[in-house]
Structure 1
Amino acid sequence: MSDQSAAKPRPRLFGKVLWGVAALGVAAVVYIIGQASTNPDASRGMRAFAKGEMAALQTPKDPRPAPVTTIYDPEGQPVRLGDYRGEVVVLNLWATWCPPCVAEMPTLAALADHYQGKPVRVLAVSIDRPADVDKARAFIGQHAPLAFYSDPNMKLAFDLVPPAPGMPTTVIYGADGIERARLSGGADWGGEDAKALVDHVLGAE
């Protein structure tokens, strides 16, 4: 008799456990939904615009700010990518010894021309060695409105997270200085696919 009476509370206890687990599950779902609404995944939004020439676009799982590496502006003055916060930055790492870099430069110039007057800056940063800087500067001079920026120590390519796998590498930063996407290899940056991508970043700021 005592055994039966001792066994009776068990269904109630089991039911309470089930309700507790269910409540935790609901709470977890609510938390995830809340996080999604307050921390939208910008990368997924970028992927929706990665079409055609931009199909090889990569979006960061852990978006990071631009590295603090020193590069040199057209006047030879040291600058950092963070100096251009407030603008969408299209950073292109290139060199004169890189055929795909040379081939895509006119399209980067076309992109820069398209966004003149808007808060978009196309930074073509040469990683040519000091002995080839004059050659690289002359080449960029043929592709207005691009200006000559350089990284003669080739540090920026390695300071990216992850590092650039090769040249050319193009990285797009939002106006907040956070990486939105990157593309390794040459592309038509003057085409409609690239403009749609930059427009998306510009409109999301």
Structure 2
Amino acid sequence: MSERSDEGAAGGPKIPLRWVLGGVAVLGVAAVLYIIGQASINPQQETSLKGFAKGEMAKFALPVEAAPPPAAGFLDAKGQTRRIADFRGKVVVVNMWATWCAPCVIEMPTLAKLAKSYEGKNVEVVAISVDRPDDEAKARAFIAKHAPLAFYHDPKMAIPFAFKPAAVGMPTTVIYGADGVERGRLAGEADWSGKEAKALIDKVLAES
């Protein structure tokens, strides 16, 4: 069988048709590999969490990029430095709150109910107070009323600004998969004890 070739419009050298077809095939494979690669690092493609942004979770937003938690530390009830990465291996629901934040105060009982419903499972609710040092006792007393939540404190209010992008509004809740990668966040008050929240957490848990 003879090899067919075509000349360029400007009278350039003849290029065997099989080379052209081979090049198209290579480009096609490369495109497929690129799409697969993007899906593996893009949480919007890696998960189907977008469909869970409804009801009380309507403000849940997927991250722009798959990012690990900030390295900034905060204090536990004993004054020991902790980091969000310490909880890797679990689905982590990080909530930033303060006693001076009315929506935070309203929301906290629902986070306690969420934590209670997942006791014994691979889920950790980490509520971090950003109250000033002078208000630490007030914050401790408040969180003590919402078992099983533990007291965590960021007296320098560094954690919210360490996120990418920064979580400047209170309350803000950021969810991490067991792999330590952000799955999304919700800015503002929400009912974390409802069916929409549990459906979202169950989905992240199933993917972990």
TM > 0.5 fold call: yes
Name the counterpart of 1:112.
115
Deviations 1:112-170 (A, max 9, x none): 00000111110110000000010111111111111111000000000000000310000
Q: Secondary structure at the match of 1:60?
A: coil
| 1: CA distance, partners of 2:81 / 2:28 | 53
Alignment of 1:1-205 (within 5 A): 10=7, 13=14, 16=17, 19=21, 22-35=24-37, 39=40, 41-44=42-45, 45-205=48-208
1:35 Cα offset (Å)? 2.6
TM-score normalised over the length of structure 1: 0.88
AA matched with 1:28:
A
| 2: CA distance, partners of 1:99 / 1:34 | 44
Q: CA RMSD in A?
A: 2.1
1:43 Cα offset (Å)? 2.8
Consecutive unaligned residues of structure 1, counting only runs of 5 or more, are 1-7
Cα distance change, pair 144–32 in 1 and its aligned pair in 2 (3 A): same
1:62 Cα offset (Å)? 1.1
**Number of aligned positions between the proteins:** 197
1:21 Cα offset (Å)? 5.6
Percent identity, aligned pairs only, is 51
Deviations 1:96-120 (A, max 9, x none): 1111101100100000000001111
Q: Secondary structure at the match of 2:179?
A: coil
TM-score normalised over the length of structure 2: 0.86
Q: Which has the higher contact order (CA 8 A, sep 6+)?
A: 1
Contact 1:123 1:146 in 2 (8 A): yes
| 1: CA distance, partners of 2:44 / 2:7 | 49
Deviations 1:32-69 (A, max 9, x none): 354367x1643341112222111111111211111111
1:23 Cα offset (Å)? 2.9
